[in-house]
Amino acid sequence: MPVEARRAVAEVEATDIVIVPSVVLANDGWKPGRYPDIVEWTSRMHARGAQLCSACSGIFLLAETGLFDGRDATIHWGYVEQFAKVFPRGPLLPERALVVAGDREQLITSGSSMTWHDLVLYLIARHVGATAAQTIARYFALQWRHDGLAPYIVFRGRTDHGDAAIADAQSWLATHFSVASPVEEMVKRSGLAERTFKRRFTDATGFAPLDYVQRLRIEDAKRRLERTETSADEISWQVGYEDAAFFRRLFKRTTGLTPGAYRKRFQVPAFARSRNG
C-alpha cells in the first residue's frame, strides 16, 4: 500500500511524539550512520520535549541518538543479539511488552511488532486519560499484554561463538536433552575437565550448561502443549523431568504462565485445525 509523505522530516519544527515503526533489517544487520539527518532531528525534537517511541526494530534508529545509552529498553527477542552487537550500551528486556524510561519518562519502547497496541494505548492513557484508553481498547478488542512477552520467546542457543567443542556439545544436546544427567554426558563427550567445559560452555552460549538444558526442555514442552492433548504430567516426563511439580514451577518461571494457561493461549483452536491432522 503506497504511503504518501505529506512533509519532509526537516520541515517539522516541533512535535510532541516521535514514533519509529518496525524497520526491515538486511541480512547484514543494521548499518549505523545511514540516516544522520533523521537522527539529529530526532535528538532535537527530544530536547524540545518530544517523547521518543519505537515499535520492535525501530529502536535501532532511536539508539543512534545516544539517548538510550544505559537506559532500559525492549525489542523483539529475535533482534536482541544484533542490537547488542551494534549498541552494547544499554540493558535489553525482550520479555517486556513495553518499557518506559528516561528522567521524564520520554523514552518508550515496545517489543514485537504487534505490541504497538500497548504503545498506542499507553500514549492515549498518558495524553488523554485512562478512560479513553479503556474505551478504545474495548471498541477495537485490544488487550494490554500484562504478562509480557516471555511466553512468546522461542529459545535458540548461540552457535556463532567459534568454540568447536561446545558447538559439538550443543549439536548432541539438541536431540538428547531429555536423557538423564545430560550435563555429565556432555562433559564426557567433550573430553574436557568438568570445570573447563562448564566455563567454556557459559562463555560461548551465555548460559550455564544446566540452564541451557532447561531452556531446551521447556521449549520442547511448549511445542507439545501447543500441538498435542498430552497432559502436563506426561509432557514433564517426556522432556526429562520425573518431578512434575518441579517442571510446572520451572515452566512458570521461564514463560510466566502455567502449562495449562500456556496451552489455552497458544494451542490452535479445534475449529481451525486441519481435518487431515
The residue ranges of every structural domain in the chain are 9-152, 164-266
Residue 275: what pLDDT? Answer: 60
Amino acid at 74: T
**What would the mean pLDDT of 113-126 be, rounded to a whole number?**
90
For domain 9-152, give the fold. Answer: Rossmann fold (3.40.50)
Residue 277: what pLDDT? Answer: 52
Residue 207, C-alpha cell as written in the block: 548460559
Residue 79, C-alpha cell as written in the block: 533482534
pLDDT band at 18 (very low <50, low <70, confident <90, very high): very high
Q: Which CATH number fits domain 164-266: 1.10.10.60, 1.25.40.10, 3.40.50.2300, 3.40.50.720?
A: 1.10.10.60
pLDDT band at 24 (very low <50, low <70, confident <90, very high): confident
pLDDT band at 140 (very low <50, low <70, confident <90, very high): very high
Encode pLDDT of 226-271 as tens digits: 999 999 999 999 999 999 999 999 999 999 999 999 999 999 887 7
Whole-structure pTM value: 0.79
27 against 194, higher pLDDT: 194
Decide: helix, strand or coil at residue 263: helix
Residue 5: what pLDDT? Answer: 85
Residue 89: what pLDDT? Answer: 79
φ, ψ at 263 (rounded to 5°): -60, -45
d(CA 134, CA 225): 32
Give which of 108, 59, 111, 106 is closest to 84, Cα–Cα.
59
Residue 109 β-bridge partners: 54, 99
Mean of the per-residue pLDDT values of the chain: 91
The percent of residues above 70 in pLDDT, for the chain, comes to 99
pLDDT band at 276 (very low <50, low <70, confident <90, very high): low
List of long-range contacts for 221-230, beta carbons under 8 Å, 24+ apart: 221/247, 221/251, 221/259, 222/255, 222/262, 222/266, 225/259, 225/262, 225/263, 225/266, 225/267, 226/263, 226/266, 226/267, 226/268, 227/267
Report whether pLDDT(274) > 80.
no
Encode pLDDT of 25-52 as tens digits: 888 889 899 999 999 999 999 999 999 9
**What would the mean pLDDT of 217-228 be, rounded to a whole number?**
95
Residue 150: what pLDDT? Answer: 87
d(CA 73, CA 90): 8
Residue 269: what pLDDT? Answer: 84
Relative orientation angle of helices 259-266 and 232-239, to the nearest 10 degrees? 100
Compute CA distances 219 → 92, 251, 263, whole Å. Answer: 21, 9, 13
**What would the mean pLDDT of 62-73 be, rounded to a whole number?**
93
